[in-house]
Amino acid sequence: MPGAASLTLIALEGIGPVAPGDDLAARILVAAEGAGLALADGDVLAVTQKIVSKSENRYAVLDEVMPSPRALELARTCRQDARVVELVLAESRTVLRAVPEVLVVEDRRGLVLANAGVDRSNVEPDARGRERALLLPLDPDASAARLRARIFELSGADVGVLINDSIGRAWRLGTIGTAIGVSGLPGLLDLRGAPDLHGRALQTTEVGLADELAAAASAVMGQAGEGRPVVLIRGARLPRRDGSARELQRSRERDLFR
């Protein structure tokens, strides 16, 4: 139907295992070409945090981690590996909740999430067979900006980039795809002042646009062993400005739950 709103999401197959130093932009373009697609201005690429962290060598070898007394104490409370808890503390500003099976923190990036994003799922051992954990990128917005710039360098396409992670919510069950890094599109879309269907100006409406797209992409990526770490989002009709994931973080002054 002419003028109908639509959004297309396409998982790019064939990205393959990612190692430190790999050129993710080149991998993405090869995968798109293999699917018969050419990236275009206004497209958005949702990329899992995991392959970004792997390309940036954000690994920690667990046998090399020495738990502190605080980590040992929290590990007993949370029933978790004390080495992982030590990594969580090193990545965090504040511990918000510690109960059996759950450790929620405000991490060094200002994100509120379980285990500061420290993860062992789909993380291969090192060359010596030692178990590793994977940390979030140091600065996910900067990672998204670098990937976007590299894609433009290789293809000439001005795309938006989301770095996507699965994060739980305090008031609802289940994790959901969330944008922890953004470049080339708004993180937060302010619709205050825009008219509703009856011409009344919206008073409070701010849309977590990057999170909405990240959640849609997550439904295509899957959450386990699907091996679909990049999703092309086409047709979003986004305002063209260089936003960030930091826009989506609620300040402590406006946080009603802490």
- Are 93 and 59 spatial neighbours (Cβ–Cβ below 8 Å)? no
Longest dimension (CA), the chain: 66
pLDDT for 121-164, tens place per residue?
888 999 899 999 999 999 999 999 999 999 999 999 999 999 99
Range in 1-15, 26-40, 125-139, 226-240 the model is least confident about: 1-15
pLDDT for 165-220, tens place per residue?
998 887 888 889 999 999 999 888 766 556 566 667 656 667 778 999 999 999 99
CA distance 93 to 81: 20
Domains and CATH numbers, the chain: 8-58+137-250 (3.30.1330.100), 59-134 (3.90.1660.10)
Would you tell me the crossing angle of helices 140-155 and 24-34 to the nearest 10 degrees?
A: 50
Q: And the tokens for 90?
A: 């090193």
- Are 255 and 40 spatial neighbours (Cβ–Cβ below 8 Å)? no
- Are 230 and 46 spatial neighbours (Cβ–Cβ below 8 Å)? yes
How do beta strands 44-48 and 160-169 pair?
Answer: parallel
Q: And the tokens for 197?
A: 């269907």
Q: And the tokens for 237?
A: 């009709």
